[in-house]
Every structure is written in structure tokens, then in C-alpha cells.
Structure 1
Amino acid sequence: MKANNSNHGLPDDGLVPIRTVSSLTGVNSVTLRAWERRYELVKPIRTPKGHRLYTMAHVDLIHQVVALLDNGMSIGQVRQVLETDKTRPGPVPEPTTPFDLWLNYQDRLLRAVAAFDDGELGEVYHEVLSLYPVDIVTHRLIMPLLRELGERWMQGSGSIAEEHFFSVFLRNKLGARFHHLSRNRAGPKLLAAGLPGEQHEVGLLLFALAALDRDYQVVLLGPNTPLLELPPVVERVAIQAIVLSGSADIAAPVIEQELPSLCRMVAMPVFIGGRITDHCFDAITAAGAIPLGDDLNLALRGIDATLARR
């Protein structure tokens, strides 16, 4: 993309639109605009019509911001670090108050769940996702909160009703966000589904959202999908990889018998994510699939690398 520097002071080349930046960094456009508007972290170049354009220096800065956030900092702390350390590049500093931000968000969500307060849940949810990339929110907030709700139920301080209330809320919000973001994606197309016997879909939805942020196209089938149903989908759609998710209690025959059959039937990578990879890593590899673990960022990096080699 070219720009006329004689009239507008824009660089001659290397400018990319916000959608491309989102694909390169995994930070969605809403969050990038919030960082610009509320914190002045990343200031793009504006065309005469007001469109945002970014240089690769902007992209490098966004990667630095994401690294600091992933290290436990709040967005406010990141701004302070960048302002005081502009001329002294070096290793990413440790956060001064690790995890306080996320514990505060978790406490707010827990209180809203205990009160069955859908409005407060929505307010906190939209606030955090407007400021932080979805994979960081997932790692720092959503998954710890789901574990906390489960532990509260087991200890008698919570209830199944609370866990179901939050799960339904999250599933609805993530589903709506998925359908909103899935339009006009141009990257490789992934077929995503839950393994047979997997009844939960929150993890799968979180993966799909993180993939969309990186400009992947995602065909989402949902939980508990028979593996023999996948090859006909692959034949009709230009799928470039299959991504399956599962928890630790998936039945052994699924991994030892059904998964190898699927891998033989399709000519593309089959990835497995979720906690099942902790217990069945060797069996998944022996079946011909690629274990990803349950870290969304690392999983998507693994998919990126695999597809780049093909």
C-alpha cells in the first residue's frame, strides 16, 4: 500500500490497515482502537478520510504490549513502562503487582455469578475484552474462574447452578462474538469441533475467537462431534486443518481407534487441544494427530508453523 508523503506526511510504503495488524498480532480491532483512544498506546497514521494505517514499527510495539500484558501487567502499567523506558530497550520487566488486576476481575465476576446478576457479568465481560486480547483474557481470567467455580462447588461453598449460570452466559456471549467476527476473514480455513463425548464447548469457542483474531476462517461444529462426520465436511469445504478439543475424561477408544481412522481419511493436519493432551500426548501422536495443549496462544503458534511448512 502506498501513500503520498508530499501532501500528508505519510511514509512511502509499509503501511497496513487495522485488520492486517489484528491478523499479525492477534489483537482485535476493538482493542487496538481502545488502546489508542483511552491510553494513547499505539497512534496509527490517519488518511485524509480518517482510516487507520500502521507501520511495522507499530506492529513491533503491539507485540511488546502483548508481551507485557501476558507477563501480568495491567494496561495502565504497560503505558507507564513504555513512557519511562522509550530510550532504554531491554528485557520485559516483571510486573510490580502480579495478577492483582486479574484477581480483581475474577472477584467481580464471582460476586456477579453468586448474585446471578447477568447485567454485571456483561459489564465486566465487555470491559475486559475491550482492553485485552482474547487469549490473555482466557488464560488469566476465564479458565481460572471456571476452575474456581468448580472448586467452590466441590467444597460446598458454591453450587452447580452458579457454574451453569456462568457457562450459559459465557457460551451465549462467545457465540455471538464468534458470529460477529467470523465475517470477512481471509486466512486458512479451520474445521473446529469437540471430540466425541466432550459436552463442553466454552474452550472450543475461546479457541475459535482467538483464531478469528488472527484472520483464520473457522467452520465451527460444536461439542460431541462424531469423527466420521468430519471427512464429508472436508470434501465439501476448502478446509486446511482440523482442530479438535477434549477434556481429560474422553474415552480411550476415541483416541486409540477413532482418531487414527480420521487421520488416515483426511489429507491435512489434525490438531488436538485441551486437557486431554496432558494425559494422552503419546497416544495422540501415535494416532497421527498433533497435540496442542490448552494454551491458546501457543496452540495457534503451533498451527501457524505447521501450515506454513505445507
Structure 2
Amino acid sequence: MTSPIPDGSYPIREFARLTGVNPATLRAWERRYGIIHPLRTPKGHRFFSDDHIRQVKRILYWLEQGYPVRHVGLLLNNDASDANRSADAGGIPHSHWLEQQQAVMDTLLAITPKRLDELWCNAFSTYPVAVYYQFCLAPVLDRLRSGSEHPMLLRMMEQLLQRKLYSMFYQQQRMASPPILLMATNQPEGELDILIRACAIGAAGLRVEYLGPNLNPTDLSLAADALQATHTWVHFMPQEKSCELRWQRYLNQSERMHILTGTPPDHNGGRPNMHRLQPPLSMQIQHYILNTGRVTHE
């Protein structure tokens, strides 16, 4: 399909130089997978815009996470509603995630921790960490927390998953190098949420430090200074008013770059060093790696 070629567009070889993706790969992404759509002149020559550069960065993010190219089309359009509808051909349909959720539930009900660990090992080597958590593990945890199953199953899953994520996190960080992202949560109940984010970011080769749950603002500031953390990511859970006021003062006074997720207290949100990221989880991770983490680490 031909379109007017706006000024500032790039022919395919210049675009390949800018993005590091060779022309043959760009053509395959267009023809075989439909994940990029260049502009075309009447003679069929391909041209690309700055929007295409941003799209290629997103494609490369998912590929770096180990996701097969045939699934990238789904992930590029991933939002909250995508979890409830089937993907296009070549993507991952909702029914697939239902099967994955049931596999976890069946293993929990059989009370076989070793088999559960094997299931998660395979899943984390197949899917990006954030995607598997968002579409499989989080729905299972929500089901268990609803009280429809035995409370022991929830405790078992939380403890085993926490142990698994700690193990993954330490393995990832053995080869990572500064600069440092310090991650924290204000409540013990937020530990799984912050660990999954730490592992998802660590999987991209970025350096992360996590010093346990329930840090108060003073502890977090001291740790960030000692570690010389470039960024701080705080995942907030609901808290008492007195604690909320302490965090509010901290966020209004700190000059360090912060990523905020969950339910952060009201603060001067217009400050350029405070970045609040909205769900879904996979988009939070992608936003950090592409727009913050990569810039910091290059």
C-alpha cells in the first residue's frame, strides 16, 4: 500500500543503520510476521519514520527477553484488554494462558513442590518473566486470594514462588554491572510484586539491588546513597496514614530519579524525577528498559 512519504523519513538502508537491524530482517518482519509496516512509494520502495524506530526498539526488547518473533505481534499491542481476548494468528490465545493457569493449579492441588519448580523453570525459560507472571501466575494468585481454595495452597505458592524468584534474581545479578537500580516495597505483602519486577529487569542484563521488604523512607535514602543507585523503584501497597505522610514528604523532597508503581501516596507528581508507571506489568518493564534503563546503562 502506497502512502505519501513525509519529510525526514529514512530509506531502508539508512533505517537499518539507525536501528542495527539488517534490511533482510526488516523485510521478514513485514512479510512473514506483519509486525512492522513501512511506507511505500508508488514504485514500491520502503521508507521508515521515527515512529518505526520506536517500534523497532519495542520489537528488540521482546526478542532480547527470549520471546519468539512469531509472538511479538501480540506483545506489541498488549494492554489490559488483551488478556481477555484471543490473539491474532501466530500470537498466544487466551485459551493458552488458561491451560497454563490450570497446570499451576493442578500441581498445587497435588502438593508437589518439586514438580511446581520444574513447571516454573520451563515457563521462565519459554516466556518473558513479566509476561508469564501477568498472564499465568497473577490470575492464579488472585484466585487463591479470593478464598475459594484452601489457604494452605496460597501460602505454599507464595513461599515457593518467592524462593524461586530470589534464586533467579541472584543468578542474574552475578554478571550484571553498574549503574544500579535500587528496588523496594513499602510492605511485606508487596515482596512478590517487587521481586517479579526485579527479575524481569535483571533478565535484560541490567544491575538491580533489592534489600528486602518494608523499607522506610530513611532506610531507602541511606541505601540508595551507599549503593550510588542511579534510579530507585518503589512498589507501593496500601498503608496507614502516618506511613503515607512519611513517604509523601520523602517523594516531595528527594532529587533522585524514582519509578513508582502500585498505590503511591499523593505527591508533587509534576516533578521530572518522579515517574509513575501504570499497569500492566509487562508494559512497566518495557517502559523502564527502553526509556530509562537502556539510556542509563549506555
TM over 0.5: yes
- 1:212 pairs with 190, 202, 208, which one? 202
Structure-2 separation of matches of 1:133 and 1:167: 20
Report the CA distance between 1:259 and its aligned residue: 3.4
CA contact (8 A) 2:173 2:207 kept: yes
Deviation, structure 1 residue 263: 4.7
Helix, strand or coil: the match of 1:184? coil
Question: Which structure 1 residue ranges, 5 or more long, are not aligned?
Answer: 1-13, 16-20, 36-61, 73-91
Choose the corresponding residue for 2:150, options 149, 154, 159. Answer: 159
For residues 252-300 of structure 1, give each alpha carbon's deviation from its aligned partner in whole angstroms, at most 9, with x where no partner exists: 3333332332552x432122112x15xx5x5472787332234333223
Aligned-pair distance for 1:244?
0.7
Cα shift readout 1:208-248 (whole Å, capped 9, x = no counterpart): 0111122221010121111101222222222111101123x
Change (3 A) 1:177 1:27: farther
8 Å contact from structure 1 (residues 198, 224) kept in 2: yes
8 Å CA contact 2:184–2:233 kept in 1: the answer is yes
Moved over 6 A (4+): none
Answering whether residue 294 of structure 2 is matched by residue 298 of structure 1, we say: no
Contact between 1:193 and 1:245, CA under 8 Å: does it hold in 2? yes
Q: Are the equivalent residues in 2 in contact too, given 1:270–1:290 (CA < 8 A)?
A: yes
Q: Distance in 1 between matches of 2:91 and 2:226?
A: 52
1:169 aligns with 2:160: yes
1:270 aligned counterpart, secondary structure? strand
Fraction of identical pairs, as percent: 20
Note if 1:181 corresponds to 2:172: yes
Matches of 2:226 and 2:178 in 1, distance apart? 18
How far does residue 68 in structure 1 lie from its aligned partner after superposition? 3.0
Query: What SS does the aligned partner of 2:269 have?
Result: helix
Contact map agreement 1:191 1:220 (CA 8 A) in 2: yes
> What is the distance in 1 between the residues matched to 2:268 and 2:131?
26
Matching of residue 201 in structure 1 with residue 185 in structure 2: no
- Say if 1:71 and 1:95, in contact at 8 Å, map to a contact too: no
The count of residues paired between Structure 1 and Structure 2 equals 234
The equivalent residue for 2:235 is 245
Asked if 1:123 corresponds to 2:104, the answer is no
RMSD: 3.5
TM-score, scaled relative to structure 1: 0.64
Taking the aligned partners of 1:184 and 1:97, their CA distance within structure 2 comes to 32
Structure 2 residues not aligned, in runs of 5+? 1-19, 22-56, 79-86
In the superposition, the TM-score normalised over structure 2's length comes to 0.67
The residue type equivalent to 2:239 in the other structure is: I
Q: Distance in 1 between matches of 2:216 and 2:153?
A: 30
| Mapped partners of 1:176, 1:27: distance in 2 | 23
1:142 aligned residue = 137
How far apart in 1 are the matches of 2:116 and 2:245?
Answer: 40
SS at structure 1 position matched to 2:93: coil
- State the SS of the aligned residue for 2:190: coil
Helix, strand or coil at the partner of 2:189: coil
Whole-angstrom CA distance in 2 between matches of 1:296 and 1:148: 18
3-state DSSP of counterpart to 2:164:
helix
> Residue 251 of structure 2 contacts residue 267 of structure 2 at CA under 8 Å; is this kept in 1?
no
Is the aligned partner of 1:254 residue 2:248?
A: no
Which secondary structure state, in structure 2, belongs to the residue aligned with residue 219 of structure 1? strand
Equivalent position to 1:111, from 106, 112, 118: 106
Q: Does 2:74 match 1:68? A: yes
